[in-house]
Amino acid sequence: MLLLENIHPDATALLSKAGYQVDTADRALGEDELVERLATVDVVGLRSNTHVTERAFEAAPHLLAVGAFCIGTNQVDLAAASRRGVAVFNAPFSNTRSVVELVISEIIALQRGLTDKSRMMHEGKWDKSAKGSHEVRGRRLGIVGYGNIGSQLSVLAEALGMSVWFYDTEDKLALGNARRCSSLEELLEAVDIVTLHVDGRPSNKGLFGEAELARMRQGSIFLNLSRGFVVDHAALRAHIESGHIAGAAVDVFPKEPKRKGEPFVSELQGLPNVILTPHVGGSTEEAQQDIGRFVAGKLHDYLSSGSTSMSVNLPNLVLPPNAGEFRVTHVHANVPGVLAAVNSLFATHGMNIESQYLGTRGDIGYVITDTPTDCPAEVLDALAEMPATIRLRAL
């Protein structure tokens, strides 16, 4: 296994303990270097800066799985991975708690004017006043997007005594005492604090502009820790300058510097009571550690049992814990007759099937077959030669 980009040491520890030979590197690899290294590697782990392209997959005959030790998987050519039966895993939830904690801290900081107070103290000004400062207890919080982050925030905000309203385009279960709104407009008119946690689907571009800001209550607070392109920053600036919006916290921007040291420019710079952070909502050591544990666990499960639970490209097969002793895993083209052909091969060689799991996803099918005895070489050869076969493993 080759783990790149300084992946958390817990991942290496977990995989080494499970018996894998793990090489690590603290940086990303360019395509040429990656092509060279992948020639002998069964599993590669990376974060967002190593791109696994069609050419890289082509040069990796042994590659079984890719672990994206991060949230996004844009850096991996998923179609190329699927065509070769390579499973790709990521860590979609591991940093969600970190985002929620930052949101809570920012709501409190904004409700107490902490940024202004701290700045004045650094300038030598002592201004002890309660004016404009509020407890968060009893405040009305509006969560737009009630997914992994929005729903966790709902629970923690209620624990602080806030009243929670939420709006989601899907019909989501309301946790605790949270109130579901049937439209964004209804939410905006009801709450003192609006926080966005929608996903990055293209239709969310410009979701929050002049009309939505204008609907917010006088003196309310606005937060966006979801995606930069969701909000019109020029309109937000105008509403902050007019005093209609009392404060804001923004962690994501339409244009973000690619690397440390590149200049950052935003319409929101220079405004008092606006907290700007460099897309660090999910960036904590705990999240990194959990990403390491989570993805390493998925890779180990896939290699040892064939489980593709939560794979981002292969059909998701979640296996029961008492899986059989002999197992054949078969990734194939999703065309009619493959399962019948597989089972007929087992039958003609007198092999009983103890249990079988099948899943399909787009063009790809995946079948796992458990047998009471080891699969003879001629059956494996015949399976490998089937035209639909993409990847075969006997475990």
User: Which residues make up the interface to ligand NAI (CB under 6 A)?
Assistant: 71, 95-96, 99, 144-150, 167-170, 172, 197-200, 204, 207, 225-227, 251-252, 279, 281-282
CB of 131 to ligand NAI, least distance (A): 31
* Interatomic CA distance for residues 68 and 89, integer angstroms: 6
Q: Which is nearer to ligand NAI, 16 or 148 (CB)?
A: 148
Cβ-based nearer residue to ligand NAI, 136 or 143: 143
CA dihedral 74, 302, 82, 11 (to 10 degrees): 20
**Catalytic site residue 227?**
yes
Nearer to ligand NAI, 287 or 379 (CB): 287
Phi, psi of 233 (to 5 degrees): -70, -30
Annotated catalytic residue, options 36, 54, 185, 256: 256
Radius of gyration of the chain from Cα atoms? Answer: 26
Distance separating alpha carbons of residues 85 and 388, to the nearest angstrom: 12
| Phi-psi domain of 219 (left: phi exceeds 0; alpha: psi -120 through 50; beta: other) | left
Candidate list 37, 139, 197, 227, residue with the active-site label: 227
3-state secondary structure 26-69: CCCCCHHHHHHHHCCCCEEEECCCCCECHHHHHCCCCCCEEEEC
> If we measure between CA atoms, which residue out of 72, 11, 42 comes closest to residue 294?
11
Closest approach of Cβ 143 to ligand NAI, in Å?
9
Residue with smaller CB distance to ligand NAI, 86 or 225: 225
Identify which of residues 170 and 285 has a Cβ nearer to ligand NAI in the complex: 170
Give me the least distance between CB of 79 and ligand NAI, in Å please. 22
End-to-end Cα separation, the chain, in angstroms: 18
Give the bridge partners for 365, in sequence order: 332, 360
Nearer to ligand NAI by Cβ, of 94 and 308: the residue is 94
Taking the CB of residue 372, how many other CB atoms lie within 10 A of it? 11
101 is catalytic: no
Least separation in angstroms between CB 253 and ligand NAI: 11
Respond yes or no: is residue 233 known to be catalytic.
no
State the nearest-atom distance from the C-beta of 70 to ligand NAI, in Å. 10
Active-site position among 84, 279, 293, 391: 279
**CA-to-CA distance for 164 and 344, rounded, in angstroms?**
57
Residue 143, number of CB atoms within 10 A of its CB: 29
Closest to 96 in 3D by CA, of 44, 181, 155: 155
Residue least distant from ligand NAI (Cβ):
147
Edge-to-edge strand list for the sheet holding 193-196: 179-180, 163-167, 140-144, 193-196, 220-224, 245-250, 274-276
Tell the smallest beta-carbon distance from residue 18 to ligand NAI (Å): 28
Q: Which residues are catalytic?
A: 227, 256, 279
